[in-house]
Amino acid sequence: MSNHFEVIVIGSGPAGYVCAIRCAQLGLSTALIEKETDASDKPQLGGTCLNVGCIPSKALLDSSQRYADTKSHLAEHGIGVNDVTLNIPEMMTRKEKIVSQLTGGVAGLLKHNKITVLSGAGQLLAGRQVELTDAEGQVALYSADNVVLASGSEPVEIPPAPIDGDRVVDSTGALCFDAVPTRLGVIGAGVIGLELGSVWARLGAEVVILEAMEQFLPAMDEQIAKESAKIFAKQGLDIRLGARVTGVEVTPEQVTVGYSSGDAEHTETFDRLIVAVGRRPRTDKLFSGDSGVSTDERGFVFVNEHCATEAPGVWAVGDIVRGPMLAHKGSEEGVMVAERIHGKAAQLNYEVVPSIIYTHPEVAAVGKNEQELKAEGVDYKVGTFPFAAIGRAQASGETDGLVKIVSDADSDQILGAHVVGPSAADLVQQIVIAMEMAASTEDLQLMVFGHPTMSEAVHEAALAADGRAIHMVNRPQR
């Protein structure tokens, strides 16, 4: 095997493996390096997303929602169920099977595209040389015309709550509980904390989420964040804002958390504690000091709008570069980089990258929100529509939430969309397509939406932006 490739990709998460596949599709000789291994000592492909992130968490979210529906919501449909039981080991087995199928699928795709998979830790050296250290400590040297860094991210730890892997766990550990905690603490009310808290709350745990910030979901549209908070409170999630964790005391049976709120000090005792305060880029030992690559104070690799680093022929994509840590953002960056390596003028429209929280109901957004537009001095208009007025939502018993669309007041171009409610992720994706095509609210108004569907809420929100909603009383236009 030659030690020179046209492209070497370090990291096999969504950004890395997608980049490698697209490079191979374009006829470039490609190698993919992955340092993590599975139980069989084979490269653990798929990164955080497939193995301990997006996929396993969504599997548990789906299983837990089915359990909650069966136990608490079928009676209103005239369906009686007795002796509903919960088998956590079986639920975990299902999760692992899904992960195995998907990671196996990635392996098959890499093989089909004739990509060389190398197992070990890769480090970029000067001149696009890559040093590979395998599990036995053996070192090999490779070279490439282009190197793509895609090493992903890892959970952030905080000094007051050190991870012990038993009573105090990170997001990975929270996916592997062998029983439902009677009382569960979560530090962090962000995407990860809300999703994991939702899983175990649905399965019967009393969940308390401690969030240091005073505002709930500050990056989201304020109206959507407030509506989401109401829904989650109704579901039993006890979210405490302005709660700064000061220390943790662990015993074999429980964990006691101390936190401050305002001028008061509090303690809470839990069976388990999840630390979900965010993620950081995994860039330690990823490149040598003379590689030409540099990072900011938080460890993010400096890149331009096309993900090129300061070193010629070296690129970086996914969680280790600026922007939201989202698998879909990283994978599209991987495609863009592959295309640019091949000489194509590819680019990525970062203005239309959707963000999603997979609670139930989902919370999703794309583009600008109201507070951002106000801060920028943009004259805008707003259309909102509640799911409670949608026939399909009524028939499904999914009436919480709303769709919100913000548009430029003069041009009518859609600037953003924000949804909390059933199928929020899919509804926002409809507006992502519209925004990519520079559509206006009028364009959505003129489209025919199927009836009865959840997407009718998108149509009505677009109509509401001009005071034309049909199935609610319109508010006076400002």
What are the extents of the domains in the chain?
A: 4-155+280-348, 168-277, 353-464
Per-residue pLDDT, 478: 54
CA distances to 52, 55, 281 from 48, in Å: 5, 9, 12
CA distances to 117, 263, 294 from 112, in Å: 12, 61, 35
Q: Is 451 one of the annotated active-site residues of the chain?
A: yes
Same topology, domains 4-155+280-348 and 168-277? Answer is yes
Predicted confidence band at 395 (pLDDT cuts at 50, 70, 90)? Answer: very high
Question: How far is the first Cα of the chain from the last one, in angstroms, to the nearest whole number?
Answer: 68
Summarised one tens digit per residue, pLDDT across range 222-238 is 999 999 999 999 999 99
Class of domain 168-277: alpha beta
Per-residue pLDDT, 1: 66
Per-residue pLDDT, 140: 97
**How high does pLDDT run on average in the chain?**
97
Provide φ and ψ at 190, rounded to 5°: -90, -160
CA distances to 81, 84, 115, 359 from 73, in Å: 10, 12, 48, 17
Q: Per the confidence metrics, is the pTM higher than 0.85? A: yes
Average pLDDT over residues 97-119: 97
Domain 4-155+280-348 is of which CATH architecture? 3-Layer(bba) Sandwich (3.50)
Decide: 421 and 362 in contact? Cβ < 8 Å: yes
Average pLDDT over residues 93-97: 97
The number of beta carbons lying within 10 Å of the beta carbon of residue 363 is: 28
Residues contacting 22, CB < 8 A, separation 6+: 334, 335, 338, 339
Per-residue pLDDT, 475: 77
Average pLDDT over residues 393-406: 97
Catalytic residue (choose from 73, 418, 451, 471): 451
- Is-cis flag, bond preceding 89, omega within 30? no
Average pLDDT over residues 336-362: 97
Burial class (CB in 10 A: 0-12, 13-18, 19+), 143: middle
Query: In angstroms, rounded to a whole number, what is the distance separating the alpha carbons of residues 163 and 170?
Result: 7
Whether residue 23 has pLDDT greater than 80 = yes
Summarised one tens digit per residue, pLDDT across range 45-74 is 999 999 999 999 999 999 999 999 999 999
- Hey, is 286 helix, strand or coil? coil
Is the torsion defined by CA of 61, 64, 70, 72 positive or negative?
A: negative
Domain 353-464 is of which CATH architecture? 2-Layer Sandwich (3.30)
